[in-house]
A and B are shown apart, each in its own frame.
Chain A
Amino acid sequence: MKKLLAAAAGAALMVAAAAGSASAADKLKACWVYVGPHNDGGYSEGHDKGRQLVDKELGDKVETSYVESVPEGPDAERVIERLARSGCKIIFTTSFGFMDQTIKVAAKYPDVKFEHATGFKTADNVTTYNARFYQGRYIIGQIAAKMSKTGTAGYIVSVPIPEVIMGINTFMLGAQSINPDFKVKIVWVNSWFDPGKEGDAAKALFDQGADIIVQHTDSPAPLQIAEERGLHGFGQAHDMSSFAPKAQLTAIEDNWGPYYVERVKAVLDGTWKSQQSWEGLKEKMLIMAPYLNMPDDVAAMAKDTEAKITADPLLPFRGKVLKQDGSDAGPIDDGVLLGMNWYVKGIDDKFPQ
């Protein structure tokens, strides 16, 4: 009796599944792999918003799906391969740690296009893409130097990858362009997302005399602390002003949507080619949230710098850049930036090794 019931249930399941898959039309399948939850309020959510834009703009020709909270490592490989098997024609793997897995799976599925965010390995069917976030960091560095009364910013960071180091350095260069004696205090929280710890770090930094907070972590907690104390900070990845309407000066917003639409379209049109994209303010892969809670002249300066960087992506490094020990860093191009493993002069944190 039990067996019979089980068999009947199994048959019913099969029928249901068949009915489910039959309804899928002949749309192009575009797929995403996220390292965090799709609604983490930070990095992965930024990518998911991009995916939603694809849904919105190309919904009649494209079907999207995603897998979230995928651990970097063997699980990522399985998930990417599974997406390739399930008929995805273009797969965006959105975390650095998915690099080797993306390359490995791509070799097995030459007909599927792969796009890996923030990495450096490409293949005939693998493109890399990333945003020039440092551009925004230069602007907020200038704003911080103008707005700070103590001349000290607190900087909360996750983990020392080049992206983050680049951000700290450009922030400092921006601040020094306004106030050469500007100081920055750095706290590594070793996590991309831990509201409690980020909030505590913000408090510790404020307690040490910083009056402006910068973060390269994903939660709005540091801004909430700034709001509570009547001080200022900057949003990360999103406009976080709803969490801190009086504290947020601006935010460096991730804006992957237009790029995703463009690349999925390229697959539809058959014009997709492997490339290495590194886009910035000019291409609107990052955008600055409205400049709020600051005097008009500071906002005007910020807009001016934004316009200049839009015209010249490497503007922050046009002057002579000195390393922490005072030696000349030499001319800085994309290659140097992407492998940055030193601090600029004026940062008195020990470089994390």
Chain B
Amino acid sequence: MEGLEGPLLTIITASTPLLLAALGELVTERSGVLNLGVEGMMAVGAVCGFAAANLTGMPMLGVLAAILGGMVIAFLFGLLTLGLVTNQVASGLALTLFGLGLSALIGDAFVGVPGPGMPKLYIPGLSDIPLVGRIFFAQDFMTYLAWALVIAVWYFIFRTRGGLVLRAVGDNHVSAHALGYKVIRVRFLAVLFGGACAGLAGGYLSLVYTPQWTPNMTAGRGWIALALVVFAAWLPGRLVVGALLFGAVSYLALYLQGIGVGIPSQFLSMLPYLTTIVVLVVISRNRTLLRINTPACLGQSFVPDR
């Protein structure tokens, strides 16, 4: 059991940024908006978080800046897709491109500078329990936050009136509008929440995971987060499973090499992507699950009828 602790810790930290970004996108998509710009929002969050933490020496301010950074650029996306009804797929791709470029421009002065890092929170007593102690009670604060967010988002979507409105808007914007809900306003808030989460995920990378800033440090994680949302069938609980599974497969690909299995490393590196495809296929076969949960208006623009 001793030997399992390290891998489990690694898998949890590797999953956290994916979980955060995917959670935001889940809420965005539940409102009927498909934002493919997660990677760009993460990059901007990462650089804003790092810059703020570095300039002030306060990691917590970095976290706030990361959230804000993600929201600002998500705002841009909302303006385009909701205000000007542009194509969501294309706008999302543009956002990725723009975010990656912009983050590199902003971060020019911060490359090669060590970050302040974020202390781990040891919950007294509990963190000393063998095996589970260090895994559950000795993480950094953002990991706890991610897990709390999963529960909060689940509660919001399925147990509150606000969640009901969100789902109504995502499932049928015409009827939602007819019922008097502000479709555009709800969607805008959902997009901003998605941006905040993606920014936070980026901040996790630059403040906790590898405390440093470098261009393109998100390395495709935003796309994985998008895949996770579909994998999870838009259910927060399943998102946790997906993020952990992906983290585990990526880790396994590296771990197996260390043991020396003699399979070319390129094929091991393919594992996470192939797993995603297989999982997507498996999940897509379950039509009932998808029919119930897929936001029916996903990716469709709406112009209110007055």
Partners in one complex: yes
Q: In the bound complex, what is the Cα–Cα distance between A40 and B254 (angstroms)? A: 24
In the bound complex, do residue B214 and residue A350 qualify as a contact, i.e. CB atoms below 8 Å apart?
no
Q: In the bound complex, what is the Cα–Cα distance between A219 and B219 (angstroms)? A: 13
The 5 A-B pairs with the shortest beta carbon distances in the complex, nearest first, are A188-B265, A207-B6, A195-B210, A39-B111, A350-B262
A185-B260, A188-B265, A204-B258 known; A196-B212 Cβ under 8 A: no
CB contacts (< 8 Å) of B223 on chain A: these are none
Q: A200 is contacted by which of B216, B250, B262 (Cβ under 8 Å)? A: B250
Size class of the B contact interface (CB-based, 8 Å): 35 or more
In the bound complex, do residue B210 and residue A203 qualify as a contact, i.e. CB atoms below 8 Å apart?
no
CB contacts (< 8 Å) of A210 on chain B: these are 258
Q: Give the shortest distance, in Å, between B187 (CB) and chain A (any CB).
A: 31
A-B contact count (CB 8 A): 108
A97 within 8 A of B: no
Q: In the bound complex, what is the Cα–Cα distance between A227 and B111 (angstroms)? A: 19
A242 within 8 A of B: yes
Q: In the bound complex, what is the Cα–Cα distance between A219 and B215 (angstroms)? A: 11
CB contacts (< 8 Å) of B260 on chain A: these are 185-186, 348-350
B266 within 8 A of A: yes
Using CB atoms, name the residue of chain A closest to B250.
A200
In the bound complex, do residue B214 and residue A193 qualify as a contact, i.e. CB atoms below 8 Å apart?
yes
Count A-side interface residues using an 8 Å CB cutoff.
40
CB-CB contacts below 8 Å: A304-353 with B: 348-350, 352-353
In the bound complex, do residue B221 and residue A196 qualify as a contact, i.e. CB atoms below 8 Å apart?
yes
CB-CB contacts below 8 Å: B102-132 with A: 104, 108, 111-114
In the bound complex, do residue A224 and residue B112 qualify as a contact, i.e. CB atoms below 8 Å apart?
no
Using CB atoms, name the residue of chain B closest to A190.
B269
A45-B112, A194-B219, A204-B251 known; A40-B10 Cβ under 8 A: no
CB contacts (< 8 Å) of A194 on chain B: these are 219
In the bound complex, do residue A207 and residue B112 qualify as a contact, i.e. CB atoms below 8 Å apart?
no
Q: Give the shortest distance, in Å, between A177 (CB) and chain B (any CB).
A: 23
In the bound complex, do residue B114 and residue A243 qualify as a contact, i.e. CB atoms below 8 Å apart?
yes
B175 within 8 A of A: no
Q: In the bound complex, what is the Cα–Cα distance between A300 and B28 (angstroms)? A: 60
CB-CB contacts below 8 Å: A209-234 with B: 210, 219-221, 224
Q: B258 is contacted by which of A154, A219, A350 (Cβ under 8 Å)? A: A154
A285 within 8 A of B: no
B1 within 8 A of A: no
Q: In the bound complex, what is the Cα–Cα distance between A56 and B179 (angstroms)? A: 70
Q: In the bound complex, what is the Cα–Cα distance between A241 and B162 (angstroms)? A: 50
In the bound complex, do residue A196 and residue B217 qualify as a contact, i.e. CB atoms below 8 Å apart?
yes
In the bound complex, do residue B217 and residue A195 qualify as a contact, i.e. CB atoms below 8 Å apart?
yes
CB-CB contacts below 8 Å: B193-243 with A: 205, 209-212, 214-217, 219, 221
User: Hey, what's the 0/1 contact readout for B1-32 against A, CB within 8 Å counting as 1?
Assistant: 00100110010001000000000000000000
A133 within 8 A of B: no
In the bound complex, do residue A188 and residue B214 qualify as a contact, i.e. CB atoms below 8 Å apart?
no
A199 within 8 A of B: yes
Q: Give the shortest distance, in Å, between A231 (CB) and chain B (any CB).
A: 12
A-B contact pairs, 8 of them (CB 8 A): A37-B111, A187-B257, A195-B217, A196-B217, A203-B6, A205-B258, A206-B6, A221-B212
Which A residues form the contact surface with B (CB < 8 A)?
37, 39-41, 45, 154, 185-190, 193-201, 203-208, 210, 219-221, 224, 238, 242-243, 348-350, 352-353
Q: Give the shortest distance, in Å, between A238 (CB) and chain B (any CB).
A: 8
In the bound complex, do residue A219 and residue B214 qualify as a contact, i.e. CB atoms below 8 Å apart?
yes
In the bound complex, do residue B264 and residue A353 qualify as a contact, i.e. CB atoms below 8 Å apart?
yes
In the bound complex, do residue A242 and residue B114 qualify as a contact, i.e. CB atoms below 8 Å apart?
yes
Q: In the bound complex, what is the Cα–Cα distance between A243 and B266 (angstroms)? A: 29
Q: Give the shortest distance, in Å, between A343 (CB) and chain B (any CB).
A: 12
B255 within 8 A of A: yes
B282 within 8 A of A: no
CB contacts (< 8 Å) of B265 on chain A: these are 187-190, 352
In the bound complex, do residue B212 and residue A220 qualify as a contact, i.e. CB atoms below 8 Å apart?
yes
Q: Give the shortest distance, in Å, between B211 (CB) and chain A (any CB).
A: 6
Using CB atoms, name the residue of chain B closest to A155.
B258
Q: Give the shortest distance, in Å, between B272 (CB) and chain A (any CB).
A: 10
CB contacts (< 8 Å) of B6 on chain A: these are 203, 206-207
In the bound complex, do residue B258 and residue A243 qualify as a contact, i.e. CB atoms below 8 Å apart?
no
Q: In the bound complex, what is the Cα–Cα distance between A205 and B258 (angstroms)? A: 6
In the bound complex, do residue A352 and residue B264 qualify as a contact, i.e. CB atoms below 8 Å apart?
yes
In the bound complex, do residue A221 and residue B210 qualify as a contact, i.e. CB atoms below 8 Å apart?
yes
A41-B112, A199-B210 known; A207-B104 Cβ under 8 A: no
Q: Give the shortest distance, in Å, between A64 (CB) and chain B (any CB).
A: 18
In the bound complex, do residue B10 and residue A204 qualify as a contact, i.e. CB atoms below 8 Å apart?
yes
Q: In the bound complex, what is the Cα–Cα distance between A208 and B215 (angstroms)? A: 30
Q: In the bound complex, what is the Cα–Cα distance between A204 and B254 (angstroms)? A: 7
